[in-house]
């Protein structure tokens, strides 16, 4: 019998979770959704697809509890946290991580 996770772990090399949680604009913690995270997610997903990264999945997530640093994402399996950029150069840098594993140091979230 094949376990459900077996096929997924073989098919996916990396999994990216992008927070799209949205709060009211005056909420003290802010939110990734109010910083256009859904639009950025769409760009990252398109770029990954265009680059043929079929073994990388980019998904929406709820709040990742790093709201103030958003738009936030986390890349597994290594657990690299990013504050996602919204410019071409920045997104290309994140994409390079997804393609060849080079962490985009300038966008990494540091421990709070």
Nearest approach, Cβ of 103 to ligand FES (angstroms)? 20
* CB nearer ligand FES, residue 38 or residue 63: 63
Q: Which of 47, 66, 97, 107 binds ligand FES (CB under 6 A)?
A: 66
Instruction: Choose one: 5-13, 48-56, 57-65, 84-92; the region binding ligand FES (CB under 6 A).
Output: 57-65
Site for ligand FES in 73-112 (CB under 6 A): none
CA–CA distance, 39 with 106 (Å, rounded to integer): 21
């Amino acid at each position: 019998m094949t376990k459900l996770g077996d096929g997924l772990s073989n098919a996916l090399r990396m999994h990216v979770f992008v927070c799209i949680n949205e709060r009211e604009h005056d909420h003290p913690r802010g939110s990734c959704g109010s910083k256009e995270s859904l639009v950025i997610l769409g760009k990252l997903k398109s770029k990954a697809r265009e680059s043929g990264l079929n073994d990388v999945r980019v998904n929406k997530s709820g709040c990742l509890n790093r709201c103030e640093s958003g738009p936030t994402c986390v890349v597994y399996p290594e657990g690299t946290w990013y504050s996602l950029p919204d410019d071409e150069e920045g997104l290309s840098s994140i994409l390079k991580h997804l393609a060849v594993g080079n962490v985009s140091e300038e966008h990494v979230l540091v421990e709070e």
